[in-house]
Chains A and B, each alone.
Chain A
Amino acid sequence: MRSCRRRRPENSAMTDARAHAAYYESEAALRLVDQELDQLREATDPAASIVELPLILERANQQIHTVLARLRDVREARHRSACGTLQYTHERIRAVTLATEDAATDILDACDRARHIVDALDAIDTAEPADRGRAKALRATLRDELFLMTGALQFQDITAQQLAHASAVLMDMETRLTDLATLFSTTLSVAALPANSGAVPEAMTYDPNATTRHAEARQHLADEIFMSAKVSAA
Protein backbone atom coordinates (compact mmCIF):
# COMPACT_ATOMS: atom_id res chain seq x y z
CA MET A 1 0.00 0.00 0.00
CA ARG A 2 1.30 3.45 -0.93
CA SER A 3 2.09 5.71 1.96
CA CYS A 4 0.32 9.02 2.37
CA ARG A 5 2.56 12.08 2.53
CA ARG A 6 1.92 14.68 5.23
CA ARG A 7 0.56 17.80 3.61
CA ARG A 8 -2.50 19.98 3.35
CA PRO A 9 -5.18 19.06 0.81
CA GLU A 10 -4.13 20.17 -2.66
CA ASN A 11 -6.36 22.23 -4.87
CA SER A 12 -8.95 19.64 -5.78
CA ALA A 13 -10.16 21.70 -8.75
CA MET A 14 -7.02 20.59 -10.55
CA THR A 15 -7.80 16.95 -9.77
CA ASP A 16 -11.31 17.47 -11.10
CA ALA A 17 -10.01 18.96 -14.34
CA ARG A 18 -7.62 16.05 -14.78
CA ALA A 19 -10.39 13.54 -14.12
CA HIS A 20 -12.67 15.16 -16.69
CA ALA A 21 -9.88 15.41 -19.27
CA ALA A 22 -9.02 11.75 -18.74
CA TYR A 23 -12.67 10.78 -19.01
CA TYR A 24 -13.15 12.53 -22.36
CA GLU A 25 -9.82 11.37 -23.75
CA SER A 26 -10.56 7.79 -22.73
CA GLU A 27 -13.96 8.00 -24.35
CA ALA A 28 -12.41 9.34 -27.59
CA ALA A 29 -9.78 6.59 -27.61
CA LEU A 30 -12.40 3.87 -27.13
CA ARG A 31 -14.50 5.39 -29.89
CA LEU A 32 -11.50 5.05 -32.23
CA VAL A 33 -11.17 1.38 -31.28
CA ASP A 34 -14.87 0.96 -31.99
CA GLN A 35 -14.48 2.58 -35.43
CA GLU A 36 -11.61 0.26 -36.29
CA LEU A 37 -13.71 -2.76 -35.34
CA ASP A 38 -16.69 -1.44 -37.34
CA GLN A 39 -14.50 -1.08 -40.42
CA LEU A 40 -13.38 -4.64 -39.94
CA ARG A 41 -16.96 -5.90 -39.62
CA GLU A 42 -18.18 -3.94 -42.65
CA ALA A 43 -15.29 -4.90 -44.93
CA THR A 44 -16.39 -6.08 -48.40
CA ASP A 45 -13.22 -8.07 -48.95
CA PRO A 46 -12.72 -10.39 -45.95
CA ALA A 47 -9.36 -11.62 -47.23
CA ALA A 48 -7.96 -8.06 -47.41
CA SER A 49 -9.36 -7.32 -43.99
CA ILE A 50 -7.60 -10.34 -42.53
CA VAL A 51 -4.34 -8.91 -43.87
CA GLU A 52 -5.07 -5.58 -42.16
CA LEU A 53 -6.19 -7.25 -38.94
CA PRO A 54 -2.77 -7.14 -37.16
CA LEU A 55 -2.47 -3.40 -37.91
CA ILE A 56 -6.01 -2.72 -36.70
CA LEU A 57 -5.42 -4.71 -33.53
CA GLU A 58 -2.11 -2.90 -32.99
CA ARG A 59 -3.84 0.49 -33.24
CA ALA A 60 -6.64 -0.70 -30.94
CA ASN A 61 -4.05 -1.96 -28.47
CA GLN A 62 -2.31 1.44 -28.46
CA GLN A 63 -5.60 3.22 -27.83
CA ILE A 64 -6.46 0.89 -24.97
CA HIS A 65 -3.00 1.49 -23.48
CA THR A 66 -3.65 5.23 -23.67
CA VAL A 67 -6.96 4.76 -21.87
CA LEU A 68 -5.33 2.68 -19.15
CA ALA A 69 -2.53 5.21 -18.72
CA ARG A 70 -5.12 7.98 -18.29
CA LEU A 71 -7.05 5.95 -15.76
CA ARG A 72 -3.84 5.30 -13.82
CA ASP A 73 -3.09 9.02 -13.93
CA VAL A 74 -6.52 9.87 -12.50
CA ARG A 75 -6.25 7.16 -9.86
CA GLU A 76 -2.84 8.54 -8.81
CA ALA A 77 -4.16 12.12 -8.62
CA ARG A 78 -7.21 11.01 -6.61
CA HIS A 79 -5.02 8.99 -4.29
CA ARG A 80 -2.68 11.92 -3.64
CA SER A 81 -5.59 14.27 -3.04
CA ALA A 82 -7.39 11.84 -0.73
CA CYS A 83 -4.24 11.08 1.26
CA GLY A 84 -3.44 14.74 1.78
CA THR A 85 -7.00 15.57 2.78
CA LEU A 86 -7.38 12.68 5.18
CA GLN A 87 -3.96 13.28 6.73
CA TYR A 88 -4.73 16.94 7.33
CA THR A 89 -8.14 16.10 8.78
CA HIS A 90 -6.50 13.54 11.03
CA GLU A 91 -4.12 16.26 12.27
CA ARG A 92 -7.03 18.62 12.99
CA ILE A 93 -8.86 15.95 14.98
CA ARG A 94 -5.66 15.19 16.88
CA ALA A 95 -5.38 18.92 17.66
CA VAL A 96 -8.86 18.72 19.21
CA THR A 97 -7.74 15.83 21.41
CA LEU A 98 -4.64 17.76 22.53
CA ALA A 99 -6.61 20.95 23.21
CA THR A 100 -9.18 19.03 25.24
CA GLU A 101 -6.43 17.28 27.19
CA ASP A 102 -4.60 20.56 27.89
CA ALA A 103 -7.78 22.25 29.08
CA ALA A 104 -8.72 19.27 31.26
CA THR A 105 -5.22 19.30 32.82
CA ASP A 106 -5.38 23.06 33.46
CA ILE A 107 -8.81 22.73 35.08
CA LEU A 108 -7.75 19.74 37.21
CA ASP A 109 -4.61 21.58 38.34
CA ALA A 110 -6.71 24.60 39.30
CA CYS A 111 -9.14 22.27 41.17
CA ASP A 112 -6.23 20.76 43.12
CA ARG A 113 -4.92 24.19 44.07
CA ALA A 114 -8.43 25.32 45.03
CA ARG A 115 -8.88 22.25 47.25
CA HIS A 116 -5.61 23.01 49.06
CA ILE A 117 -6.76 26.59 49.60
CA VAL A 118 -10.08 25.38 51.07
CA ASP A 119 -8.10 23.03 53.38
CA ALA A 120 -5.95 25.99 54.46
CA LEU A 121 -9.08 28.08 55.10
CA ASP A 122 -10.50 25.23 57.22
CA ALA A 123 -7.26 25.15 59.21
CA ILE A 124 -7.45 28.91 59.79
CA ASP A 125 -11.04 28.55 61.01
CA THR A 126 -10.07 25.94 63.60
CA ALA A 127 -6.98 27.84 64.79
CA GLU A 128 -7.14 30.12 67.80
CA PRO A 129 -6.83 32.98 67.11
CA ALA A 130 -7.91 32.76 63.44
CA ASP A 131 -5.58 34.55 61.02
CA ARG A 132 -8.21 36.66 59.20
CA GLY A 133 -5.62 38.49 57.10
CA ARG A 134 -4.27 35.26 55.66
CA ALA A 135 -7.83 33.97 55.13
CA LYS A 136 -8.64 37.07 53.10
CA ALA A 137 -5.55 36.59 50.91
CA LEU A 138 -6.40 32.92 50.41
CA ARG A 139 -9.95 33.76 49.34
CA ALA A 140 -8.54 36.15 46.73
CA THR A 141 -6.27 33.38 45.45
CA LEU A 142 -9.25 31.02 45.36
CA ARG A 143 -11.18 33.50 43.19
CA ASP A 144 -8.17 33.65 40.84
CA GLU A 145 -8.14 29.86 40.56
CA LEU A 146 -11.87 29.75 39.79
CA PHE A 147 -11.33 32.42 37.16
CA LEU A 148 -8.48 30.40 35.61
CA MET A 149 -10.87 27.45 35.27
CA THR A 150 -13.33 29.66 33.40
CA GLY A 151 -10.58 30.88 31.06
CA ALA A 152 -9.47 27.33 30.31
CA LEU A 153 -12.93 26.70 28.84
CA GLN A 154 -11.97 28.80 25.80
CA PHE A 155 -10.82 25.51 24.31
CA GLN A 156 -14.49 24.77 23.56
CA ASP A 157 -14.73 27.59 21.00
CA ILE A 158 -11.40 26.69 19.40
CA THR A 159 -12.05 22.94 19.16
CA ALA A 160 -15.53 23.67 17.75
CA GLN A 161 -13.81 25.55 14.91
CA GLN A 162 -11.28 22.74 14.39
CA LEU A 163 -14.10 20.19 14.22
CA ALA A 164 -16.14 22.38 11.85
CA HIS A 165 -13.17 22.45 9.50
CA ALA A 166 -12.62 18.68 9.75
CA SER A 167 -16.34 18.16 9.12
CA ALA A 168 -16.26 20.39 6.02
CA VAL A 169 -13.26 18.48 4.64
CA LEU A 170 -14.91 15.09 5.25
CA MET A 171 -18.15 16.19 3.60
CA ASP A 172 -16.19 17.47 0.60
CA MET A 173 -14.45 14.09 0.47
CA GLU A 174 -17.81 12.32 0.61
CA THR A 175 -19.05 14.35 -2.37
CA ARG A 176 -15.89 13.58 -4.35
CA LEU A 177 -16.11 9.86 -3.63
CA THR A 178 -19.74 9.88 -4.78
CA ASP A 179 -18.71 11.69 -7.98
CA LEU A 180 -15.96 9.15 -8.54
CA ALA A 181 -18.30 6.22 -7.95
CA THR A 182 -20.83 7.55 -10.45
CA LEU A 183 -18.07 8.34 -12.97
CA PHE A 184 -16.94 4.71 -13.09
CA SER A 185 -20.31 3.02 -12.80
CA THR A 186 -23.06 3.59 -15.30
CA THR A 187 -25.50 1.52 -13.22
CA LEU A 188 -24.98 3.37 -9.93
CA SER A 189 -27.83 5.69 -9.07
CA VAL A 190 -26.97 8.77 -7.01
CA ALA A 191 -30.39 8.46 -5.40
CA ALA A 192 -29.44 5.01 -4.12
CA LEU A 193 -26.40 6.37 -2.29
CA PRO A 194 -26.68 7.28 1.41
CA ALA A 195 -27.72 10.89 1.88
CA ASN A 196 -25.04 13.42 2.82
CA SER A 197 -24.69 13.26 6.59
CA GLY A 198 -25.57 16.91 7.29
CA ALA A 199 -25.12 20.55 6.40
CA VAL A 200 -21.58 21.60 5.52
CA PRO A 201 -20.35 24.12 8.12
CA GLU A 202 -20.16 27.60 6.59
CA ALA A 203 -16.54 28.52 5.88
CA MET A 204 -17.01 31.98 7.38
CA THR A 205 -17.95 30.50 10.77
CA TYR A 206 -14.60 28.89 11.50
CA ASP A 207 -10.88 29.51 11.21
CA PRO A 208 -9.25 26.49 9.54
CA ASN A 209 -6.02 27.22 11.44
CA ALA A 210 -7.62 27.69 14.87
CA THR A 211 -5.38 26.39 17.63
CA THR A 212 -4.99 26.54 21.39
CA ARG A 213 -1.19 26.26 21.12
CA HIS A 214 1.42 29.02 21.59
CA ALA A 215 -1.17 31.69 22.36
CA GLU A 216 1.35 33.92 24.12
CA ALA A 217 3.82 33.87 21.23
CA ARG A 218 1.01 34.47 18.70
CA GLN A 219 -0.27 37.41 20.76
CA HIS A 220 3.24 38.87 20.92
CA LEU A 221 3.60 38.54 17.14
CA ALA A 222 0.15 40.05 16.58
CA ASP A 223 1.09 43.02 18.80
CA GLU A 224 4.29 43.58 16.80
CA ILE A 225 2.45 43.46 13.47
CA PHE A 226 -0.32 45.72 14.76
CA MET A 227 2.15 48.28 16.09
CA SER A 228 4.36 48.33 12.99
CA ALA A 229 1.30 48.64 10.71
CA LYS A 230 0.02 51.51 12.86
CA VAL A 231 3.38 53.29 12.71
CA SER A 232 3.48 52.84 8.91
CA ALA A 233 -0.06 54.17 8.58
CA ALA A 234 0.80 57.23 10.71
Chain B
Amino acid sequence: MKFLVVDDSATMRRIVINSLQRIGFHDTVEAGDGLEALARFDSSVRFVITDWNMPNMSGTEFTKALRLRADGRRVPVLMVTTRSAKEDILIAMAAGVSNFIVKPFTPQVLKEKIDALLPAAAA
Protein backbone atom coordinates (compact mmCIF):
# COMPACT_ATOMS: atom_id res chain seq x y z
CA MET B 1 0.00 0.00 0.00
CA LYS B 2 1.44 3.34 -1.08
CA PHE B 3 1.43 6.29 1.37
CA LEU B 4 1.83 9.96 0.42
CA VAL B 5 3.52 11.85 3.27
CA VAL B 6 3.12 15.63 3.10
CA ASP B 7 5.03 17.95 5.45
CA ASP B 8 7.23 21.01 4.92
CA SER B 9 9.59 19.71 7.61
CA ALA B 10 12.00 17.14 6.17
CA THR B 11 12.59 15.90 9.74
CA MET B 12 8.89 15.21 10.22
CA ARG B 13 8.59 13.45 6.86
CA ARG B 14 11.47 11.20 7.86
CA ILE B 15 9.95 10.48 11.28
CA VAL B 16 6.55 9.64 9.75
CA ILE B 17 8.15 7.43 7.10
CA ASN B 18 10.28 5.65 9.76
CA SER B 19 7.12 5.08 11.78
CA LEU B 20 5.31 3.69 8.74
CA GLN B 21 8.19 1.35 7.98
CA ARG B 22 8.17 0.14 11.55
CA ILE B 23 4.53 -0.88 11.27
CA GLY B 24 5.11 -2.58 7.95
CA PHE B 25 4.41 0.05 5.27
CA HIS B 26 7.46 0.57 3.08
CA ASP B 27 5.96 2.10 -0.06
CA THR B 28 5.97 5.88 0.45
CA VAL B 29 6.16 9.04 -1.59
CA GLU B 30 6.92 12.50 -0.13
CA ALA B 31 5.84 16.10 -0.75
CA GLY B 32 6.91 19.38 0.92
CA ASP B 33 3.58 21.22 0.58
CA GLY B 34 0.02 20.85 -0.68
CA LEU B 35 0.80 21.90 -4.23
CA GLU B 36 3.59 19.38 -4.58
CA ALA B 37 1.34 16.75 -2.99
CA LEU B 38 -1.39 17.37 -5.57
CA ALA B 39 1.19 16.88 -8.31
CA ARG B 40 2.53 13.69 -6.73
CA PHE B 41 -0.84 12.16 -5.98
CA ASP B 42 -2.16 9.50 -8.35
CA SER B 43 -4.46 6.52 -8.11
CA SER B 44 -1.63 4.30 -6.83
CA VAL B 45 -1.58 6.29 -3.56
CA ARG B 46 -3.95 4.58 -1.10
CA PHE B 47 -3.32 6.66 2.01
CA VAL B 48 -2.37 10.29 2.66
CA ILE B 49 -0.70 11.67 5.80
CA THR B 50 -0.50 15.44 5.78
CA ASP B 51 0.59 18.35 7.94
CA TRP B 52 -1.61 21.48 8.22
CA ASN B 53 0.76 24.47 8.25
CA MET B 54 2.79 24.51 5.04
CA PRO B 55 3.86 27.09 2.46
CA ASN B 56 2.09 27.51 -0.91
CA MET B 57 -0.85 25.27 -0.01
CA SER B 58 -1.91 24.19 3.48
CA GLY B 59 -3.00 20.70 4.45
CA THR B 60 -6.68 21.68 4.59
CA GLU B 61 -6.54 23.36 1.16
CA PHE B 62 -4.78 20.31 -0.23
CA THR B 63 -7.42 17.99 1.23
CA LYS B 64 -10.24 20.11 -0.25
CA ALA B 65 -8.55 20.04 -3.66
CA LEU B 66 -7.96 16.30 -3.39
CA ARG B 67 -11.62 15.66 -2.59
CA LEU B 68 -12.59 17.39 -5.83
CA ARG B 69 -10.56 14.88 -7.86
CA ALA B 70 -12.17 11.62 -8.91
CA ASP B 71 -9.12 9.63 -7.80
CA GLY B 72 -8.85 11.45 -4.45
CA ARG B 73 -12.44 11.49 -3.30
CA ARG B 74 -12.26 8.38 -1.11
CA VAL B 75 -8.59 8.08 -0.15
CA PRO B 76 -8.10 8.30 3.66
CA VAL B 77 -6.41 11.55 4.71
CA LEU B 78 -4.81 11.58 8.14
CA MET B 79 -3.87 15.04 9.33
CA VAL B 80 -0.81 15.20 11.63
CA THR B 81 -0.53 18.68 13.12
CA THR B 82 0.33 20.77 16.16
CA ARG B 83 -3.16 22.28 15.97
CA SER B 84 -5.67 20.81 18.41
CA ALA B 85 -8.28 23.50 19.07
CA LYS B 86 -11.90 22.51 18.52
CA GLU B 87 -12.37 25.00 15.68
CA ASP B 88 -9.26 23.62 13.94
CA ILE B 89 -10.58 20.07 14.11
CA LEU B 90 -13.93 21.17 12.71
CA ILE B 91 -12.20 23.04 9.86
CA ALA B 92 -10.14 19.94 9.08
CA MET B 93 -13.25 17.76 9.08
CA ALA B 94 -15.08 20.19 6.82
CA ALA B 95 -12.11 20.05 4.44
CA GLY B 96 -12.50 16.28 4.21
CA VAL B 97 -9.86 15.00 6.62
CA SER B 98 -10.55 11.41 7.74
CA ASN B 99 -8.84 11.59 11.13
CA PHE B 100 -6.58 13.77 13.21
CA ILE B 101 -3.26 13.23 15.00
CA VAL B 102 -1.74 15.79 17.35
CA LYS B 103 2.02 16.40 17.22
CA PRO B 104 4.16 15.18 18.87
CA PHE B 105 2.63 11.76 18.26
CA THR B 106 3.56 8.29 19.40
CA PRO B 107 3.92 5.36 16.98
CA GLN B 108 1.02 3.67 18.80
CA VAL B 109 -1.36 6.53 17.98
CA LEU B 110 -0.24 6.52 14.35
CA LYS B 111 -0.81 2.77 14.12
CA GLU B 112 -4.26 2.99 15.72
CA LYS B 113 -5.41 5.72 13.32
CA ILE B 114 -4.03 3.93 10.26
CA ASP B 115 -5.58 0.62 11.34
CA ALA B 116 -8.96 2.30 11.75
CA LEU B 117 -8.78 3.73 8.23
CA LEU B 118 -7.31 0.70 6.47
CA PRO B 119 -10.66 -0.72 5.32
CA ALA B 120 -11.37 2.57 3.52
CA ALA B 121 -7.87 2.57 2.04
CA ALA B 122 -8.25 -0.97 0.76
CA ALA B 123 -11.68 -0.33 -0.79
Which A residues contact B (CB, under 8 angstroms)?
Answer: 147, 150-151, 153-158, 160-161, 202, 204-207, 209-212, 215, 218-219, 221-223, 225-226, 229-230, 233
Tell me which residues across on chain A come within 8 A of B12, comparing CB atoms: 154, 156-157
Please report the C-alpha to C-alpha distance between residue A161 and residue B52 in the assembled complex, in whole angstroms: 12
Q: Are B89 and A161 in contact (CB under 8 A)?
A: no
Shortest distance between the CB of B42 and any CB in chain A (Å):
26
B54 at the interface (CB under 8 A from A): yes
B22 at the interface (CB under 8 A from A): yes
Q: Are A154 and B104 in contact (CB under 8 A)?
A: yes
Q: Are A229 and B22 in contact (CB under 8 A)?
A: no
Tell me which residues across on chain A come within 8 A of B81, comparing CB atoms: 207
Q: Are B58 and A222 in contact (CB under 8 A)?
A: no
Please report the C-alpha to C-alpha distance between residue A161 and residue B53 in the assembled complex, in whole angstroms: 9
A-B contacts counted at CB < 8 A amount to 89
Q: A147-B107, A209-B85, A225-B89 are in contact. Are A204 and B100 (CB under 8 A)?
A: no
* B63-93, CB < 8 A from A: 81-86, 89-90, 93
Q: Are B15 and A158 in contact (CB under 8 A)?
A: no
Which B residues contact A (CB, under 8 angstroms)?
Answer: 7-9, 11-12, 15, 18-19, 22, 52-55, 58, 81-86, 89-90, 93, 99-107, 109
Q: Are A226 and B89 in contact (CB under 8 A)?
A: yes
Q: A205-B8, A218-B102, A230-B93 are in contact. Are A151 and B82 (CB under 8 A)?
A: no
Please report the C-alpha to C-alpha distance between residue A205 and residue B82 in the assembled complex, in whole angstroms: 12
Contacts A/B (CB < 8 Å), 16 sampled? A150-B18, A154-B104, A156-B9, A158-B104, A161-B82, A205-B54, A205-B55, A206-B53, A207-B82, A210-B82, A212-B104, A218-B102, A222-B100, A225-B89, A229-B90, A233-B93
Residue of B whose beta carbon sits closest to that of A102: B104
Q: A215: which of B9, B83, B99, B105 is its contact (CB, 8 Å)?
A: B105
Residue of A whose beta carbon sits closest to that of B58: A204
Tell me which residues across on chain A come within 8 A of B11, comparing CB atoms: 153-154, 156-157
Please report the C-alpha to C-alpha distance between residue A212 and residue B84 in the assembled complex, in whole angstroms: 12
Please report the C-alpha to C-alpha distance between residue A154 and residue B89 in the assembled complex, in whole angstroms: 21
Please report the C-alpha to C-alpha distance between residue A223 and residue B101 in the assembled complex, in whole angstroms: 8
Please report the C-alpha to C-alpha distance between residue A230 and residue B103 in the assembled complex, in whole angstroms: 21
Which of A155, A160, A161, A207 is the most central at the interface, judged by chain B CB atoms within 10 Å of its CB?
A207
Please report the C-alpha to C-alpha distance between residue A230 and residue B98 in the assembled complex, in whole angstroms: 10
Please report the C-alpha to C-alpha distance between residue A80 and residue B122 in the assembled complex, in whole angstroms: 57
Please report the C-alpha to C-alpha distance between residue A134 and residue B8 in the assembled complex, in whole angstroms: 41
